[in-house]
Chain A
Amino acid sequence: MANQQQESHAEWLARLAEESKAKQEKFMNGIAKRLGHPRMTSAPAHPYRGAPDFWKAYEWTPEERIQGFTDNFLSVGGHVARLESLADAAAFIAGKAEEMSARTVLRQDDPALAELRLEETLPAGASVSVWNSDDESQWKTVAAGADFGVVQADHAVAYTGSVTVLSASGKGRSVSLLPTVLFIVIPVERIKTRLGEVLTTFDETGREGLPAGIHFISGPSRSSDIENDLTIGVHGPGIVYALLVG
Chain B
Amino acid sequence: MSGPVKGGATVKARAELALNDEFLRKAVRFTTERLRNGKKKASEEHGNWEEWRERGRQIRLHTIAHLDYYLNLFVNNARANGVHVHFAETAEEAVKLTLDIAKHSGARSVVKSKSMVTEELHLNHALDSIGVEAIETDLGEYIIQLAGEMPSHIVIPAIHKNRYQIAELLSKEAGYELPPDTTALAGFVRKKLREKFLEADIGMTGCNFAIAETGSMVLFENEGNARMVSTVPKTQVTLMGMERIIPSWSDLEVMATLLPRSATGQKLTMYMSGITGPRRSGDADGPEEMHIIIVDNGRSLQLGDPEFQELLNCIRCGACLNACPVYRHIGGHAYGSTYSGPIGAVLTPSLNKNIAEWDDIANASSLCGACYEACPVKIPLHDMLVYLRRRKVESGHGNKLESIGMQGFASVMGSAKRMSGIVKLGKLGQKLVAKDGEIRLKLGPLKGWNTYRVTPSLPKEAFRDQWPTLESELRNELREMKPDMLERMKQVAERQKQGGGGGHHG
Contact = CB atoms under 8 A, between A and B. Distances in A.
A236 B55 contact: no
A72 B158 CA distance: 28
Contacts of A141: 198
Contact of B303 (A35, A46, A169, A213): A35
B132 interface: no
A132 B282 CA distance: 9
B256 A195 contact: yes
A172 interface: yes
A199 interface: yes
Interface hub of A28, A43, A160, A173 (most chain B Cβ within 10 A):
A173
Contacts, number: 317
Interface string A135-165: 0000111011000000000000001111000
A111 interface: no
A50 B251 contact: yes
Nearest to A195: B253
A195 to B, nearest CB: 5
Interface hub of A50, A139, A200 (most chain B Cβ within 10 A):
A50
Contact of B279 (A131, A212, A234): A212
B1 interface: no
Interface string B475-506: 00000000001001100100110011101111
Interface string B277-291: 111101111100000
Interface stretch (A11-19, A83-91, A116-124): A11-19
A230 B273 contact: no
Interface string A190-218: 00001110011011001100111111111
A139 B499 contact: no
Interface residues of B, number: 112
A210 B224 CA distance: 22
Interface stretch (A59-67, A97-105, A219-227): A219-227
Contact of B139 (A41, A210, A234, A237): A234
Nearest to B157: A225
Contact of A28 (B59, B68, B140, B185): B68
Given A44-B69, A48-B59, A212 B275 contact: yes
Contacts of A47: 58, 62
Nearest to A172: B285
Interface in B169-194: 182-183, 185-186, 189-190, 193-194
B84 A43 contact: no
Contacts of B227: 173, 177, 215, 235-236
B486 to A, nearest CB: 12
Contacts of B86: 16, 19-20, 23
A228 B30 contact: yes
Interface hub of A13, A141, A203, A224 (most chain B Cβ within 10 A):
A224
Interface string A168-189: 1100111001000000000000
B335 to A, nearest CB: 20
A217 B270 contact: yes
Interface stretch (B242-250, B352-360, B367-375, B386-394): B242-250
A127 interface: no
A79 to B, nearest CB: 14
B254 interface: yes
A231 B158 CA distance: 15
Contacts of B501: 75-76
A122 B138 CA distance: 35
Contacts of A46: 62, 247
Interface of B: 27, 30-31, 34, 48, 51-52, 55, 58-59, 62, 65-69, 71-72, 75, 77, 80-81, 84-87, 89, 100, 104, 137-140, 143, 156-158, 161-163, 166, 182-183, 185-186, 189-190, 193-194, 198, 213-216, 222-225, 227-228, 230-232, 242, 247-254, 256-257, 266-280, 282-286, 294, 296, 300, 303-304, 485, 488-489, 492, 495-496, 499-501, 503-506
27 contacts: A16-B84, A24-B75, A28-B72, A36-B304, A44-B66, A49-B251, A55-B48, A72-B267, A77-B499, A206-B214, A207-B80, A210-B274, A211-B276, A217-B271, A221-B223, A223-B186, A223-B223, A223-B505, A224-B492, A225-B143, A226-B185, A227-B27, A231-B182, A234-B139, A235-B228, A236-B227, A236-B270
Given A49-B250, A223-B506, 7 more contacts: A44-B62, A173-B231, A174-B232, A203-B250, A212-B277, A220-B270, A221-B271
Q: Identify the 9 closest CB pairs spanning chains A and B, nearest first.
A: A236-B224, A169-B282, A50-B250, A225-B140, A75-B500, A235-B224, A34-B303, A40-B69, A48-B58
